[in-house]
Chains A and B, each alone.
Chain A
Amino acid sequence: MLRGSKGANADREYTEDRISVLPINVLDYVVELLPIEDAARTSILSKKWRYIWAMSPNLVLDNLFCNKLAKESCSFFYNTVDNILLQHIGDIVKFDLDVSGLGLPWYTDIDRWMHYVTRHGVKKLNLNVPKNSTYKVPSYIFNCSTLTDLTLSNCVFKSPTSFLGFQNLITLCLKSMTFVPTAEFCVIKVPLLVDLILDCCQGTRYLNIVSPQLESLVVFRSDCLELNCFRNCKKLKRIIFSGTNKVVDVYPKYLESSTLEKFLFSLPTLAILHLESHFLKLLAADNISKELPFALDCLWHLSLHVDFGKLDQTSYALQLIKISPNLTQLRIWVFNTSDNAEAVSEYLDSPACLEQPLNKLRHVTLHLFKGSKTELALVKKLVAHTPSLVRMSIKPNKVMDSWKERNIAIELMRFSRASPRAELLYLPNVV
């Protein structure tokens, strides 16, 4: 074993154990950074390494890993996961299990594993089961008081009547979940919750989430949300509401425009607002050219999907911009129909549309730019009223012919700028 030769490649020496002299906290961390198979393999390196992985606080059984095991056979998969959990020493801080690629019945096994990890102090749990499964979130998860981060995908959420909530939960992410209420509502008490994400969930109208510390609310493509439960979230800073790309009239049945408006304007600390697809349509519906009697004093970032063929949407968008004195970043996705382009262009060109300068606005981005008259009118208006503008980025949605691009460039060059150092960037190849 002693090969004394000091060859050109020093790494090839056998003489000393060079990695194991590292302090145990470093070795622990290195093993934590390895994917599960590599991490498990380190147990056989030497006696010093024998239990490093067994004591590692994180167990990530991702999609690739689970599918690979299940390919052998289902029982091989179950036995291996049982084995991994049983040989683990100490608390499990993070447990990720992605069985979404597996097809066969396994509910009792998953329950058993959830029972195990929740009894071993799990704080960060991520469970992903196959789509369209009817796997019910087990009582072990509802009763787990150590959870700080919980992500669940594709399960059925039916909380027991005795459900006290998650006392320590800080982040909750629910994807493609189905909520089934036991009483009138599905009440989830989460006194420390800061971040909530609802992605593609069904039955969200039954949700009553009690989260007084909530700072960020993100809702993707979920059916109606009962916004009243968030009225007491006085710390809410970030709201992202995203629907489908098509402007579908699904929401108005459950969600009144005035409710949404009242909700948005009742949040004293709202700093980031991102409204996609039909939300602006909803807000604008009852609201032709009415002045908004509120101010969004803390808002510094606004993202909107706007249909520039519709006068009500365009005017509402401008209203939102005008009532946000501290707005520094603005992003607009252009959805364009030719419905009422003349009226919209007229509106945008009129001085009444925007009289006061937008003093704090520094960055503006226009996505899916099509080069229409209304869009150019908007750019002209914004550029003329933004004395602090640093950059206006215009991103076309697809390649335009060079003639059209040239004309657009000529137009843009003519606009007078309130901010002499503003950059006007046309970015055809950047998403």
Chain B
Amino acid sequence: MASSSKTEQKKMLILKSSEEEEFEIEESIAVQSGTIKNMVEDDFTLIPLPNVDTETLIKIIKYMKKHGEKTKSNEKDIEEFDKEFVKKSFTELKELVLAANYLHITSLIDLLCQAFADRIKNKSVKAIREIFGIPNDFTPEEEAEVYEQHKWAHEEGKEHIDHSAY
């Protein structure tokens, strides 16, 4: 690592994924993560992240870098980036939100939760169970009871009893 001869030295941190891979990142950008910010205040420069795998960490760093350069003029640009960022498979989003939650990156948690909400909106119960692989562990009586309680929320004619679960 060649040392810079610039008078303005940007403080760098090293983030280490669960697979022991290291990534250099500017401190000013990394502190968008509340967790990292706390560690920096305790004088850490090498931040081990045993809960975050390499692939996910790369995406998170990409997000933080983009949001780190947020100014008034590139708001549209960042909106576009965010829109593209959530166009990922469910598993990837899941890994990302677990990591964002652990790292306390509020804006990213907001973005990802909104992405999940958007995938649930307007879908029937059956479709949601299918997409997210949620097994129906209610007995038919219990399920009927829950259905009665929220009948108004279930559109007429939409199937709520998932017979294919048995």
Write the B108-150 contact mask toward A (1 if CB under 8 angstroms, else 0): 0100011011001111010011111111111000010011011
Interchain nearest-CB distance for A64 vs B (Å): 13
Size bin of chain B's contact surface: 35 or more
CA distance A378 to B55 in the complex (A): 59
A131 at the interface (CB under 8 A from B): no
A22 near B98 with CB under 8 A, answer yes
Option from A10, A21, A34, A37 in Cβ contact (under 8 Å) with B117: A34
Supposing A41-B153, A83-B149 touch, asked if A17 and B113 sit within 8 A by C-beta, the answer is: no
Interchain nearest-CB distance for A22 vs B (Å): 6
CA distance A38 to B120 in the complex (A): 8
Name B's interface SS: helix
Q: Which A residues are in CB contact (< 8 Å) with B116?
A: 19, 30
CA distance A35 to B132 in the complex (A): 19
Q: Which B residues are in CB contact (< 8 Å) with A34?
A: 117, 120-121
Write the A29-51 contact mask toward B (1 if CB under 8 angstroms, else 0): 11101111110111111110110
B132 near A33 with CB under 8 A, answer no
Q: Which A residues are in CB contact (< 8 Å) with B152?
A: 37, 40, 69, 76, 80, 83
Supposing A35-B121, A45-B128 touch, asked if A1 and B153 sit within 8 A by C-beta, the answer is: no
Size bin of chain A's contact surface: 35 or more
Supposing A23-B101, A26-B101, A33-B114 touch, asked if A18 and B133 sit within 8 A by C-beta, the answer is: yes
Interchain nearest-CB distance for B77 vs A (Å): 19
Contact residues of A between 62 and 111, Cβ < 8 Å to B: 69, 76, 80, 83, 87
A42 near B136 with CB under 8 A, answer no
B36 at the interface (CB under 8 A from A): no
Supposing A19-B116, A30-B113, A46-B136 touch, asked if A37 and B153 sit within 8 A by C-beta, the answer is: yes
A14 near B133 with CB under 8 A, answer yes
Residue among B153, B154, B160 with the most chain A CB within 10 A? B153
B91 near A18 with CB under 8 A, answer yes
Contact residues of B between 32 and 67, Cβ < 8 Å to A: none
Write the B74-115 contact mask toward A (1 if CB under 8 angstroms, else 0): 000000000000000111001001100100000001000110
Write the A210-245 contact mask toward B (1 if CB under 8 angstroms, else 0): 000000000000000000000000000000000000
Closest to A33 in B: B117
A259 at the interface (CB under 8 A from B): no
Q: Which B residues are in CB contact (< 8 Å) with A13?
A: 133
B134 near A49 with CB under 8 A, answer yes
Option from A18, A29, A47, A76 in Cβ contact (under 8 Å) with B113: A29
A15 at the interface (CB under 8 A from B): yes
B94 near A46 with CB under 8 A, answer no
B165 at the interface (CB under 8 A from A): yes
Residue among B132, B135, B150 with the most chain A CB within 10 A? B150
Interchain nearest-CB distance for B72 vs A (Å): 12
CA distance A388 to B35 in the complex (A): 42
Interchain nearest-CB distance for A237 vs B (Å): 20
B4 at the interface (CB under 8 A from A): no
Closest to A69 in B: B152
Interchain nearest-CB distance for B63 vs A (Å): 17
CA distance A19 to B97 in the complex (A): 11
Q: Which A residues are in CB contact (< 8 Å) with B129?
A: 45-46
CA distance A46 to B133 in the complex (A): 11
A29 near B150 with CB under 8 A, answer no
Supposing A11-B90, A26-B113 touch, asked if A40 and B150 sit within 8 A by C-beta, the answer is: yes
A11 near B121 with CB under 8 A, answer no
Supposing A1-B165, A14-B130, A17-B132 touch, asked if A46 and B138 sit within 8 A by C-beta, the answer is: yes
A10 near B153 with CB under 8 A, answer no
A25 at the interface (CB under 8 A from B): yes
Contact residues of A between 192 and 219, Cβ < 8 Å to B: none
CA distance A30 to B149 in the complex (A): 21
CA distance A14 to B166 in the complex (A): 13
A10 near B90 with CB under 8 A, answer yes
Contact residues of A between 340 and 388, Cβ < 8 Å to B: none
A258 at the interface (CB under 8 A from B): no
A46 near B134 with CB under 8 A, answer yes
Q: Which A residues are in CB contact (< 8 Å) with B130?
A: 12, 14
Interchain nearest-CB distance for B102 vs A (Å): 9
Supposing A29-B109, A41-B150 touch, asked if A17 and B122 sit within 8 A by C-beta, the answer is: no
A contact set with B: CB distance below 8 Å:
1, 10-23, 25-26, 29-31, 33-38, 40-47, 49-50, 69, 76, 80, 83, 87
18 A-B residue pairings within 8 Å (CB atoms): A1-B165, A18-B133, A22-B97, A22-B98, A26-B109, A33-B114, A34-B120, A35-B121, A38-B121, A41-B128, A41-B150, A43-B146, A44-B146, A44-B150, A46-B134, A46-B135, A83-B152, A87-B149
Please provide the 4 A-B residue pairs with the shortest distance between their CB atoms, ordered closest to farther: A40-B153, A33-B117, A19-B132, A40-B150
Q: A34-B121, A47-B137, A69-B152 are in contact. List 13 more A-B contacts (CB 8 A).
A: A17-B134, A18-B90, A18-B133, A20-B134, A25-B101, A26-B113, A29-B113, A30-B120, A34-B117, A37-B153, A41-B153, A44-B146, A45-B128
